[in-house]
Amino acid sequence: MDGIKSRGNQLIIRQGDTVETLIELCRQSDADTVNWNHLHDPLSLRLDNRLIAALDAQAIEHRSFNGNLLLEPKTVLNKSAKPYRVFSAFWKACQQRGLSLDTIAVPDNMAANDTTLASLSLDQLGLLPNIPWDNGLQATWQAGESQAYRMLDEFCEEGLQTYSQSRDYPAVPGTSRLSPHLHFGEISARQVGAKIQAYGVSNTQPGILNACEHYLRELGWREFAHYILFHFPDTAHSPFNQKYTNFPYRKDSHTLAAWNKGQTGFPIVDAGMRELWHTGSMHNRVRMIVASLLTKHAQIHWLEGARWFWDTLVDADLASNTMNWQWVAGCGVDASPYFRIFNPISQSKKFDPRGTYLRQWLPELSRLPDRHIHAPCLTPDEILTEAGITLGKTYPHPILDLKQSREQALTSYRRHILQRSEIKQSGEEFTDDPELSVSARSSW
């Protein structure tokens, strides 16, 4: 909205069925052409088809553009004219094809529309909650195109050079934090990629080219998520790897509620879940840890986690959210294997060694020494007492035994895969694609 105002135009806000509302607006404004940037998720594709049919019926010209991705998903196929299923092969094909990073200059002004056209105000939409649970989000984020550009500039100047090393440490501002702006179209992947690429070419700092390549690869992972959802829309609710269809996930409302609230007894998980609730975001490394605890240790369906993230993330994106949850659960494209299970205690020690991130979101543990803050459940009673901690009262006991739950998860996965293999041998149609190799990587 800030970009529209600064270029001499206004945003018209209306409520109602998208197609019917646009057709009515065209009639009122005598518009003869409708332009929009299209998306590639199933709902948006269906909506576009409805809109195109309605515009054709009214003899109104229309053009849609790919403003969300670097390439059109339907244009990147393997030698058999089928979609890629492994990221490394997909990204190599994109690079060989040539990434579209050219951008069009922003116009100085836009012809103003008829200011007599009716428009709702933002207040009339009633978007703000009655209970101010959103205060943390407002304090953390500033929406808009201008802010997106500022964050990209700041990342290039202050964070890009160390990105490869610092991106895994939640207490360090080592990521670009551009995902909400990308999701809402306040900046495009092409604009980000062009800026990163140009910065790498013009900068002589040691290691900067490698950092730029690393970041562009993560932009490619986002691209891959949308690519997979476009070609395999059922993955929004079903596992990409069909061998995990009907996996016997547990239904455990108590464990799920504790996970949602950040009351699992594992500090790195609880810190991440509380950061998510307060800010609408969570560090990428921590997202993988909390997802692993839920889907592997607790064996709760990945959709339960995906739905919670969808409800709480400011950058909630169906494509990325779906693919990354399936990646951690081991049932997705190019997924982490079923036997890769993150230990939240060792992960916490490795990526937040001084407990800086933990203390930020778990003030009740702030007085614990660095060596003990990662696992209060393993801390001697006298140290807990000195820190003012009573397990079960001021901080919860762990909701599960890590060693025991890990072994139970491995047993469940092995048993399920063995059963599926026996079914396959008996002649039932079953997908076990050899292309589903492991890349041991992920980015939300």
| pLDDT tens by residue, 143-168 | 999 999 999 999 999 999 999 989 99
Up-side HSE of residue 261: CA atoms within 13 Å toward CB?
12
Residue 113, pLDDT above cutoff 80: no
Query: What is the structure's pLDDT at 1?
Result: 55
CB 400 within 8 A of CB 297: yes
pLDDT tier at 6 (50, 70, 90 boundaries)? low
CB within 8 Å of 94: residues ≥ 6 apart: 70, 71, 76, 220, 223
Q: Go through 55-87 and write b for each residue having 16 or more CB atoms within 10 A of its CB, e for each that does not.
A: beeeebebeeebebbbbebeebeeeeeebbbbb
What are the two backbone dihedrals, phi and then psi, of residue 37, each rounded to the nearest 5 degrees? -90, 125
Report d(CA 17, CA 24) in Å as an integer: 11
CA distance 75 to 370: 51
Which domains occur in the chain, in start order?
A: 1-65 (3.40.50.620), 68-107+136-231 (1.25.40.80), 242-425 (1.10.579.10)
**Residue 418 pLDDT level (bands cut at 50, 70, 90):** confident
For the chain, the average pLDDT equals: 91
**Does position 230 have pLDDT exceeding 50, yes or no?**
yes
Query: Has residue 3 got a pLDDT over 80?
Result: no
Please give the pLDDT value at position 106. 76
Q: How many CB atoms lie within 10 A of CB 244?
A: 22
d(CA 433, CA 240): 10
Which of 317, 319, 324 is CA-nearest to residue 295?
A: 324
**108 or 173, which is more confident:** 173
When pLDDT is cut at 50, 70 and 90, the band that residue 2 belongs to is low
For residue 439, name the pLDDT band (cuts at 50, 70, 90).
very low
- Per-residue pLDDT of 340-391, as tens digits, reads 999 999 999 999 999 999 999 999 999 999 999 999 999 999 999 999 999 9
pTM for the structure as a whole: 0.91
pLDDT, tens digit (0-9, with 9 covering 90-100), for 8-37: 778 899 999 999 999 999 999 999 999 999
Under 8 Å CB-to-CB from 233, ≥6 apart: which residues? Answer: 41, 42
Digit-coded pLDDT (tens) for 236-255 = 999 999 999 999 999 999 99
C-alpha distances out from residue 171 to 177, 306, 349, 355, 372, Å: 14, 24, 12, 8, 17
Task: Say whether pLDDT at 103 is over 90.
Answer: no
302: pLDDT strictly greater than 90: yes
